[in-house]
Amino acid sequence: MTQRPGFPVKLPSAGAARTVRSSTPATGVVKPAVVPAYLASARRPVPLTGLGLDSGAVRARMVTKLAEQGLKDPLVLQAMDAVERHRFVETALAGQAYEDTSLPIGLGQTISKPNVVARMIELMREGVSGKLGRILEIGTGCGYQAAVLSHVATEVYSIERLRGLHEKARENLRPLRLHNVHLIFGDGMLGYAQGAPYSAIISAAGGENVPQAWIDQLAMGGRLVAPTHTSSGQQALVVIDKTPQGLQQTLLEAVNFVPLKSGIA
């Protein structure tokens, strides 16, 4: 199998063959992954002033739990370890920042569970060695996932339809100086054609169907990971690979995301 597109993304010439690994549905109990060596090494505590937390140690425990739950991509685990999740939630909720739970971020939206963030990014990176190329995130929210994505991709375009959250993400990300992250205020259902094609697309909101604009903006050989509604009316993760033979779709485990909406507000 040839590697999925890196950066810059280049579409194959007409007639060029390319194989893409389909995602395998999660089944049963996942064997614990081996914790990367960097987690086993001694870490110097990083005090979190005024919150009573040792951010570095608490975050390391969170990442160790992710590995025990079956997450195994070293680059994803390192990214989860590098980004301080407590910086993206309200001060009153900072004590819960490294628990495997979603938390409110305002305007009826939430920051996803660490396990869900890591799981979706790992699915997006499946079959890729090294960093992804240019990617698109639908639903910036508070900016946390964009910060994690900045460690696993060369360039990140992230679009948010709610101006209040777009501004909050800008404030949260500004101190990090992530020069490969571009925040856009706009309708996520339309994607962001100016940055296309993308080697991967990830969505933090789920609708009845995956918008055609996302498929159009996905590079040949690229992968899309998003929640979508099933025939039973529930949400589940879907992985879509774009191949010369057509779209390959795999439905995975049940999830619970905010609804995908059009327009801006």
* Options 13, 22, 55, 112, the catalytic residue: 112
Helices (H), the chain: 37-40, 55-68, 74-82, 114-125, 144-149, 163-173, 212-217
112 noted as active-site residue: yes
CA 139, 140, 145, 151 torsion-angle sign = positive
Closest CA to 182 of 198, 164, 159: 159
CB-CB neighbours of 98 under 10 Å: 21
CB-based contact 97:85 (threshold 8 Å)? yes
DSSP per-residue codes, 106-174: ETTEEEPPHHHHHHHHHHHHTT--S-EEEEEEE--TTSHHHHHHTTTEEEEEEEES-HHHHHHHHHHHG
Residues with catalytic annotation? Answer: 112
